[in-house]
Amino acid sequence: MSTPLTHPERVAVARLHALLELLPTALDKRLHQGGVTAFEHTLLDTLAEHEGQRMRLSALAHKTNATLPRISRVATSLERRGLIERTPCPEDGRATNATLTELGATTHELSRTLYADAVRELVLEGLAQLPGDGVAQLSELTLAVLTSLDTERTQTQACAADPREPVAEPTECAADPA
């Protein structure tokens, strides 16, 4: 039988849980004027940085750490609003591609600015209060937790959620924003 969590462990996990509950809602509120949720922004952002602004739904699910049913529901909503188009994949007729539309690209540009402002205020300002590089510390902490949660995709320092880095040799992680 394992021992109960210590008080400091309980505090750390309770704070993490609170962050995971509060941050998406706070980001959704900030992105509302852009017409998207934080998760919809993540999908648009992922499509925008991918070659041809097109991806298979299964690859989009993998990159965003979402289930295929969730991606399908969100893609349906985005398609109804004209932000993406879904088409059969020419390489594999069983797969479906999502492609960013012109309206989707415009919406993405607006939401990207709103998202950046929200993240700076809600997350990065708090990290600036830490000694040292708070952004690097958060990146290391979250990767350490992700390594426990997603052992198939985080066996090295790479993470499937990482956005493309604008330099020659990007570090890949699926959960990191662009």
Specify the pLDDT at position 73. 96
CATH of 33-129, one of 2.40.30.30, 3.10.129.10, 1.10.10.10, 3.20.20.100: 1.10.10.10
Distance, CA of 147 to CA of 138 (rounded, Å): 14
Residue range 82-118, pLDDT digits in tens: 999 999 988 888 899 999 999 999 999 999 999 999 9
Pick 96 or 159 by higher pLDDT: 96
Distance, CA of 24 to CA of 173 (rounded, Å): 20
Confidence of residue 76 (pLDDT cuts 50, 70, 90): very high
Specify the pLDDT at position 168. 46
Distance, CA of 103 to CA of 84 (rounded, Å): 8
Residue ranges, comma separated, of all CATH 1.10.10.10 domains in the chain are 33-129
